[in-house]
């Protein structure tokens, strides 16, 4: 899946709205719930072990909630396993950096293999998210990027995902320049949203999990 600068520059809200209103989104919602039901017994074991490991290593909640921006710009509380120290956001919202000192030992492992994202299956069940879609961003960053990055609002035309094209092709980003590149992938995904596109991203996600590509 290639993405060029023109994918960003030659996009408008109406063209994307026409694409996402063609009916696949309702089918996609059903597929999300079927997949969750199928993997839940296996995932539940991993989540239970992870919760115990986090609790044994450090004090604080096993889970971490953070307000993110979803479909149509609506905010919701995204759920993750806590991978950082309890006071990680004492200085406000920050991008995670390489070798971030706020990340715990267990946190490094679960972030590398994306285990920290598993609680977001609950967000999918609730309808806040989809399994595949643009990653939801923090509200403070969205407010900034809406002002500084053209077409940034368009990534909210669909439900955000636990995984997505940008995560499998680019990995984690930690600045505005990386966010622009990420947006190109997000808009490409929205313009080409289909069962086959989601299937291809699913395969790439398996590779990402097994290799730890792009983790921080």
Instruction: Give the pLDDT confidence of 34-65 residue by residue, as tens digits.
Output: 999 999 999 999 999 999 999 998 888 999 99
Mean pLDDT of all residues in 166-175: 80
CA separation for the pair 3, 9 (Å, rounded): 12
Of the listed ranges 11-15, 16-20, 90-94, 151-155, the least confidently predicted one is 90-94
Asked if the model's pLDDT at residue 138 lies above 70, the reply is yes
Q: Residue 15, Cβ neighbours under 10 Å: how many?
A: 12
CA separation for the pair 82, 167 (Å, rounded): 20
CA separation for the pair 44, 192 (Å, rounded): 32
Phi/psi-derived region of residue 59, left when phi > 0, alpha when psi is between -120 and 50, beta in every other case: beta
The proportion of the chain whose per-residue pLDDT surpasses 90, expressed as a percent, equals 56
Measured in degrees and rounded to the nearest 5, phi and psi for residue 64 equal -130, 125
pLDDT of 90: 45
CA separation for the pair 136, 125 (Å, rounded): 16
The tokens for 186 are: 């997000």
Distances (CA, A) of 207 to 6, 140, 147, 204: 28, 31, 35, 5
Mean pLDDT of all residues in 68-86: 92
- 76 SS3 class: strand
Asked if the model's pLDDT at residue 198 lies above 80, the reply is yes
Residue ranges of alpha helices (H) inside the chain are: 5-9, 13-20, 24-57, 105-112, 120-126, 139-148, 165-169, 176-191, 195-211
- pLDDT tens-digit map of 103-135: 888 998 998 899 999 999 999 999 999 999 999
């Amino acid at each position: 899946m290639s993405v060029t600068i023109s994918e960003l520059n030659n996009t408008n809200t109406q063209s994307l709205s026409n694409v996402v209103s063609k009916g696949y989104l309702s089918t996609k919602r059903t597929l999300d719930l079927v997949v969750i039901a199928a993997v839940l017994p296996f995932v539940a074991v991993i989540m239970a072990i992870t919760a115990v490991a986090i609790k044994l290593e450090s004090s604080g909640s096993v889970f971490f909630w953070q307000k993110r921006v979803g479909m149509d710009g609506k905010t919701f509380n995204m759920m993750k396993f806590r991978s950082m120290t309890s006071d990680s956001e004492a200085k406000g919202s920050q991008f995670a950096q390489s070798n971030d000192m706020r990340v715990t030992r267990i946190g490094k492992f679960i972030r590398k293999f994306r285990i920290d994202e598993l609680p977001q299956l609950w967000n999918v069940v609730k309808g806040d998210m989809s399994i595949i879609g643009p990653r939801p961003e923090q509200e403070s960053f969205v407010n900034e990027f809406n002002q500084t990055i053209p077409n940034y609002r368009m990534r909210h035309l669909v439900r955000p995902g636990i995984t997505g094209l940008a995560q499998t092709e680019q990995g984690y980003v930690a600045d505005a320049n990386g966010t622009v590149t990420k947006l190109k992938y997000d808009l490409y995904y929205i313009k080409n949203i289909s069962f086959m596109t989601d299937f291809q991203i699913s395969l790439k996600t398996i590779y990402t999990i097994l290799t730890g590509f792009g983790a921080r």
